[in-house]
Every structure is written in structure tokens, then in C-alpha cells.
């Protein structure tokens, strides 16, 4: 483990140089890693581990869409693909990758298969941190830890196939065997992490819920919608409004920020853009800071987790979700986005002439 200094704060990190794949394979050579859930994180983590030579099996409800997906991905029924309870019995490390609501429902079944010396692995601190709401309290003779990739399972898999790694956090909640650190880091390397930084379950879920509702999804959609609306109401076309709000950010500027940082991006744009960005960013910070504080307080109090559990446990949750997503999808902003994406050169068929964006959204 290395100790790095980030802006005056020391952090413990593990890199692939100091903990190479060969070491991870040695640590996990006698383990059976059971992936329970093959939805968001499950496929990427399972496939990356399999490709890295780890003995990984998938536990999923038979004949479900996720079961069929696992079959298509090359997992074999009776050899590496099992019904959930059999996978729980076979696994020595249980990767609990179901949704938070599904984890609550399945927990009694999982718990009875957590025999002494096994490990319970999460990619989210939700179930453990809010155990007064979830009821997820592991027995004290098993290791409990997490590896949380900082991105979707799709991104984890895509970056793995490109020879890159997606950074992940890791945390140990319970070290019953004395080998929790080696096990969790080995798994972090095996799933394709770029580097691993230390956290704890509470900090992971607090930052994760804040991030999802904030800059990663909620806040950025709100900012997109606000700017797009202002431009449209001031007479700008849908194409112009979308390109200046979303397309230029995602296709041009954010890749530069990812590569070199915001200061480098500022230094390499026009002087007019520099001046405006430097003048206005603190105004946006000051305007949104109270909202982010309110958001974090709601996460820390358990209000956000409770709302999530109550909402996602309703029998008509999927129907309500589709209605909300439909409203988003059919908004002028994202209808414009659909057309703009179709006009990118890589999506064009030379035999067809692109339709004007206004025709597509009117």
C-alpha cells in the first residue's frame, strides 16, 4: 500500500504495480467468487474476473433476462451459472451485486449461506451503512468488504477491454479471517480497477449518493435543462441550444478535463472563454453550495436511503420509473440530443441525407 499526498491530505492507495494481477490470482486461487446479480455491475465484474483467470460463477434466477444474458456471455449452466441459492452455497466470496432493494429482499437467504471464513463483498455501502433500514447485519465470523468502481459496470468492462482501468474505492467493514485486506485488494485488481483508494462503508455511500444526485446525474441534468430553456426562450434553435449546452461539453471539453484538468482546459481555450469562465464559476458555486449541503444532510440523515427503499420496493416501481424516464426522454432537450447524435459523422450513412433537427423534434 502506498501513501499519497493529495493537496495536503494523505490517502492510502493500492496500484497495479505494487499489487499486480499475478498476486491477485495467487490470493484468489482457492476461492470461488459467486456473483449474485447480473444487472448493472454484475456482468462487467464477472467477465473481467473470468478473463483474468479467477474462478467466478454467476448466481441468478433461472430463465430471467439476466440469466439469458449470462448464458450469452458464455457462462455455462451447471458449471459457472447457477440458481442463486446454489451459487451462494458454492461461493467462498459472495459478491452481492443486486440492487439495494433486491438485497434487502434476498438477505435472509444470503445470510444462511454465510458460513465461517467466507467473505461478503459489496460494491456499495448502502446495505451495511443503513442496516437499521435494510436489516443487513452479517454474522461476525465472515469478512465483509467492498470495492466500488467509480463508474458503471459497462464502463468497467469497456475500459478493461481497452487495456485501461476504472478507479475504485475499497473498504473493510469486518476482518474475521485476518486476510480481508488481501482478499479485497485482489478482487479490486481482478475486476479491472485502475488503482484502489481507501475509504469506509459510510463515506462510500455518502459520497456516492451525493454524487449521483449531484454533479454526476441530478445536478448536471438540472443545469443542462436550465441553460437549454434559457437559450430556447431567447430565440436560439434546438440545434444551437443543445450543441452549446451538452454536445460541446461532452464531446470536446470534458475529454480535455479528464486528460489534463480544468486549469489546462481553461488555459487552452479562447481568452474570451477564459475570462467568462473565471468570472462566473464562483457565482455558480455559491448558488449551488446550499443545495449540495442540503443534499448531503439528507443522505447523512438516512432520508435519501429511506425514500429509495420505499420507492424501489413498490410493486409498480418499474411502471412509475418508465413514466419518469419517458418524460425526460421526450423533452425537447433530449429529443434534440437524439437528433444531434444521429448527425455525428460516425452515425451517418452516406446514402441518406440527414433531416434538419427542427423536423425531428417538432
CATH number at residue 215: 1.10.1040.10
Tally of domains in the chain: 2
CATH number at residue 163: 3.40.50.720
Residues 176 and 252 in one domain: no
The band of 347, judged by pLDDT with boundaries at 50, 70 and 90, is: confident
Q: Of 200, 221, 251, at which residue does a domain stop? A: 200
Range 317-328 average pLDDT: 93
Cα separation, 271 vs 276, whole angstroms: 9
Task: Tell me whether residue 76 is in a domain.
Answer: yes
Residues 100 and 221 in one domain: no
Check whether 6 has a pLDDT greater than 80: no
This prediction has a pTM of 0.86
> Dmax over Cα atoms in the chain, in whole Å?
67
Give the SS3 label for residue 356: coil
Predicted pLDDT of residue 353: 45
Residues 45 and 95 in one domain: yes
Predicted pLDDT of residue 352: 46
Range 2-12 average pLDDT: 73
The band of 7, judged by pLDDT with boundaries at 50, 70 and 90, is: low
User: Whole domain around residue 65: which residue ranges?
Assistant: 2-200
Predicted pLDDT of residue 4: 66
Task: Tell me whether residue 206 is in a domain.
Answer: no
Give the mean pLDDT of the chain: 92
Q: What is the pLDDT of residues 124-137, one digit of tens each?
A: 999 999 999 999 99
Check whether 251 has a pLDDT greater than 60: yes
Q: Which residue has the cell 459478491?
A: 95
Range 132-160 average pLDDT: 95
Percent of the chain with pLDDT over 70: 94
Is residue 236 annotated as part of the catalytic site, yes or no?
no
Cα separation, 357 vs 343, whole angstroms: 9
Q: Of 200, 222, 240, at which residue does a domain stop? A: 200
Cα separation, 169 vs 150, whole angstroms: 8
Task: Tell me whether residue 280 is in a domain.
Answer: yes
Task: Tell me whether residue 289 is in a domain.
Answer: yes
Range 195-200 average pLDDT: 94
Residues 156 and 14 in one domain: yes
Task: Tell me whether residue 92 is in a domain.
Answer: yes
| Options 113, 124, 179, 236, the catalytic residue | 124
Q: Which of 21-25, 151-155, 278-282 has the lowest mean pLDDT?
A: 151-155
Residues 228 and 132 in one domain: no
Residues 21 and 72 in one domain: yes
Amino acid at each position: 500500500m502506498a501513501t499519497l499526498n493529495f493537496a495536503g491530505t494523505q490517502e492510502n492507495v493500492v496500484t497495479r504495480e505494487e499489487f499486480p494481477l499475478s498476486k491477485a490470482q495467487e490470493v484468489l486461487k482457492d476461492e470461488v467468487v459467486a456473483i449474485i446479480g447480473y444487472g448493472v455491475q454484475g456482468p462487467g465484474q464477472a467477465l473481467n474476473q473470468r478473463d483474468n483467470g479467477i474462478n467466478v460463477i454467476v448466481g441468478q434466477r433461472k430463465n430471467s433476462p439476466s440469466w439469458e444474458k449470462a448464458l450469452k456471455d458464455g457462462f455455462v449452466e451447471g458449471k459457472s451459472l447457477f440458481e442463486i441459492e446454489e451459487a451462494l452455497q458454492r461461493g467462498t466470496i459472495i459478491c452481492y451485486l443486486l440492487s439495494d432493494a433486491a438485497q434487502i429482499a434476498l438477505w435472509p437467504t444470503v445470510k444462511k449461506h454465510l458460513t465461517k471464513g467466507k467473505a461478503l463483498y459489496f460494491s456499495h455501502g448502502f446495505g451495511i451503512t443503513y442496516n437499521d433500514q435494510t436489516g443487513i447485519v452479517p454474522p461476525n465470523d465472515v469478512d465483509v468488504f467492498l470495492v466500488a468502481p467509480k463508474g458503471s459496470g459497462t464502463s468497467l468492462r469497456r475500459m478493461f477491454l481497452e487495456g485501461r482501468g476504472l478507479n475504485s474505492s475499497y473498504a473493510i467493514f469486518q476482518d474475521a479471517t485476518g486476510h480481508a485486506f488481501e482478499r479485497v485488494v485482489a478482487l479490486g485488481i481482478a475486476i479491472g480497477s485502475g488503482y484502489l483508494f481507501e475509504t469506509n462503508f459510510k463515506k462510500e455511500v455518502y459520497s456516492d449518493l451525493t454524487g449521483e444526485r449531484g454533479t454526476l446525474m441530478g445536478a448536471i441534468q438540472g443545469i443542462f435543462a436550465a441553460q437549454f430553456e434559457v437559450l430556447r426562450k431567447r430565440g436560439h434553435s434546438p440545434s444551437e441550444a443543445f450543441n452549446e449546452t451538452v454536445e460541446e461539453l461532452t464531446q470536446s471539453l470534458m475529454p480535455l478535463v479528464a486528460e489534463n484538468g480544468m486549469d489546462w482546459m481553461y488555459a487552452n481555450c479562447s481568452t474570451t472563454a477564459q475570462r467568462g469562465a473565471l468570472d462566473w464559476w464562483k457565482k455558480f458555486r455559491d448558488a449551488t453550495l446550499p443545495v449540495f449541503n442540503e443534499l448531503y444532510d439528507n443522505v447523512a440523515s438516512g432520508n435519501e436511503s429511506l425514500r429509495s427503499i420505499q420507492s424501489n420496493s413498490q410493486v409498480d416501481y418499474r411502471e412509475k420509473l418508465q413514466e419518469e424516464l419517458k418524460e425526460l426522454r421526450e423533452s425537447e432537450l433530449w429529443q434534440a440530443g437524439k437528433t444531434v447524435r444521429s448527425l455525428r459523422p460516425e452515425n451517418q450513412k452516406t446514402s441518406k441525407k440527414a433531416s434538419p433537427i427542427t423536423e425531428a423534434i417538432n
